[in-house]
Amino acid sequence: MIIALDPRDIPGGIALLNEQRDMDVEVLGLEVTEPDLAQACSLGNIDPQHLGGDASTAAIEAALTHPVPPAGSALAVLRQDADALGAAAVLRIRQRGEKLDAAARARVGQIAEADKEASGPWPGPRPAARNAADLLRSTSAVEAMCMNFRRPLEDRVAAVEGWILDGALPDREEISERLRQEADAAMAALDVQVCDGIAVVTGAHRLAMSAGYRHAPVVMATNPAFRWQGGPEHTKHNVARWNSAHPMDWAGMLADLRGREPGWGGSSSICGSPQGTGSTLTQQEVLGIVARHL
């Protein structure tokens, strides 16, 4: 069983987890980034990047060696992305006693590398994306499938299991073609400006960070029409740096953002405004806070 938690209702999520415990169902969290929800997971929480402070290890990698949860237990996710659902897939494969061969482990590594911070220094300014291929990567199709909230969560985890084991992904060509079209649209729709050494990206597209990193090692992205798991549109800000080694006062910046708007959170290289609700800060207000900590 897999449980989807909602950051907009932390008390309700805790109640749900306590209900599972009352039913003698133990729960292991997978990339549950809200501390209160993570603490309510009776078997702990696999989240090295965010709550664990280890930006170099993704949840899906940790799932390769984490103790397999007992039969009848449940897995809980907050971030329904390829890393979290991939971690669930890896644990389920191991629960069945199946082995992950070298090819399967390589696919796990692809998701991990796509999810965690890039290693090494920022490569410097590059030309703006010229075509869809510049903004897509080998895991883009499986990432998009995981984020398709119209599809039942159990089905998405099963699909990731199949992809990890044999590389097959249902509707891969259809998904890939849609992604190419979306990337072409993103290049036309995303506005990228460089202000005080920060790439400021405005637009409703998940490839905003990829576009921004071609201009600067610190990206501040504003999506004015973000939807949390298919909910109503609202303003969402994200701030990211190339990796946690890039010099800036990240902790001070995050503290200032939280002081202005409680609920900001993330890892040592990317953070965002409160999940599930519209940010009360303007783009210029966020930009000013980020700039003060460079």
Give tens-digit pLDDT for 44-84: 999 998 788 777 889 999 999 999 999 999 999 998 999 99
Q: Using 50, 70 and 90 to split pLDDT, how confident is the model at 117?
A: low
Query: Which pLDDT does position 180 carry in this prediction?
Result: 84
Which of 123-137, 228-242, 275-289 has the weakest average pLDDT?
123-137
**Residue 134 has what DSSP assignment?**
G
Give the model confidence (pLDDT) of 7-56 as tens digits.
778 899 999 999 999 999 999 999 998 889 999 999 999 999 878 877 78
Q: What is the pLDDT of residue 132?
A: 67
In the chain, domain spans: 2-172, 191-292
82 neighbors 143 (Cβ within 8 angstroms): yes
SS3 state of residue 193: strand
- Asked whether the predicted pLDDT for residue 173 surpasses 80, the reply is yes
In CATH, the architecture of 191-292 is Roll (3.10)
Average pLDDT, the chain: 90
Token output for 234: 């609202």
Neighbouring CB atoms inside 10 A of 247's CB total 8
